[in-house]
Amino acid sequence: MNFHEILKQKTDRANAVIRAYLPKEEGAPARLIEAMNYSMTAGGKRLRPILMEEAYLIFGGTETVIEPFMAGIEMIHTHSLVHDDLPALDNDLLRRGKPTTHAVYGESCAILAGDALLNYAYEIMLGSFSQTARPELAARALRLLSLKTGIFGMLGGQGVDVENDGREITADLLQYIYEKKTAALLEGSLLTGAILAGASDEETAVVEAAAKNIGLAFQIYDDILDVTGTCEELGKPIHSDEKNHKTTYVTLYGLKEAQERAEALTRDAVERIRLLRGDTAFLVELALSLTSRRV
């Protein structure tokens, strides 16, 4: 099988795992649960659970405990998208070519659905401790993931991003936002998989540095696609950064240098990944594919 066939298989697997962990749409809060599940099944690359499982496999993990963590990180990610799309934040009516959650279910329901997704992620990951012979690793992985999600990780990055909406910002602050808003949760993905599989502190340090660079490259490439992509490919409006006077890697450094930086970060990440024990071939190809994607 070539890379794209393997990726398709792994995406199908991630989708099946996610589906298995969605709450049932029944009882009094059925509509709120429907809104949660709508946002969870409205497409997406499933990059975070795929990265997480790949790290788990590289370090020899064999238990089903990885599955609730895969579903959990996608719920955390989706929670952030649902709230990011709200009228008070990005005010987006379209994501991945489909109406956003608040566009379908209303604003109050979307706020609570986002809250419920974040909390449900913790519910299912905390429920997984009985699925593993090493619950202390699950506790360590979950603690780490909570830090990458929170005020000193993704949510902090979102806060700074929103606070500076429509303003020109410095290169340092842009770097902070990208490291936190995007890279932190990708670090959380790979680190959680590695920790659950029993990787050593030295190994998780390598994983974290590689993940950070993958995350930065991924976000820079998002800036590039906003200029070079088409609305049909991306399922969302293009040139939105320019319209919103948003500082990006492209506005700061130009298209060519942004592309070069994304590629350099990816090369660095790939070199680190190749240092790891285990079969890293797919993870290397996946990292490389993220800076040549069209969506």
Residues that bind a second copy (CB under 8 A): 23, 27-29, 31-33, 36, 79-80, 83, 86, 88-89, 106-109, 111-116, 118-120, 122-123, 126-127, 129, 135-136, 139, 142-143, 146-147, 149-152, 155-160, 162-163, 165, 173, 176, 180
Q: How are the residues of the chain apportioned to helix, strand and coil, as percentages rounded to the nearest 5?
A: 70, 0, 25
Smallest gap from residue 189 Cβ to a second copy (A): 16
Determine how many CB atoms are found less than 10 A away from the CB of residue 108: 10
The residue among 28 and 133 lying less far from a second copy, judged by its C-beta, is 28
Smallest gap from residue 28 Cβ to a second copy (A): 5
| Helix or strand run (H / E) with residue 57 | helix 47-58
**21 to each of 37, 41, 68, 127, how far by Cα in Å?**
10, 12, 7, 11
The residue among 151 and 275 lying less far from a second copy, judged by its C-beta, is 151
The residue among 10 and 102 lying less far from a second copy, judged by its C-beta, is 102
**54 to each of 96, 133, 171, how far by Cα in Å?**
25, 20, 32
- Two structure tokens written together for 53: 């499982």
Beta-strand pair 94-95/98-99: antiparallel
Smallest gap from residue 193 Cβ to a second copy (A): 18
Smallest gap from residue 217 Cβ to a second copy (A): 21
Q: What crossing angle do the helices spanning 201-228 and 255-274 adopt, rounded to 10°?
A: 160
Smallest gap from residue 179 Cβ to a second copy (A): 10
Contacts of 18 (CB under 8 A, 6+ apart): 40, 46, 49, 70, 71, 74
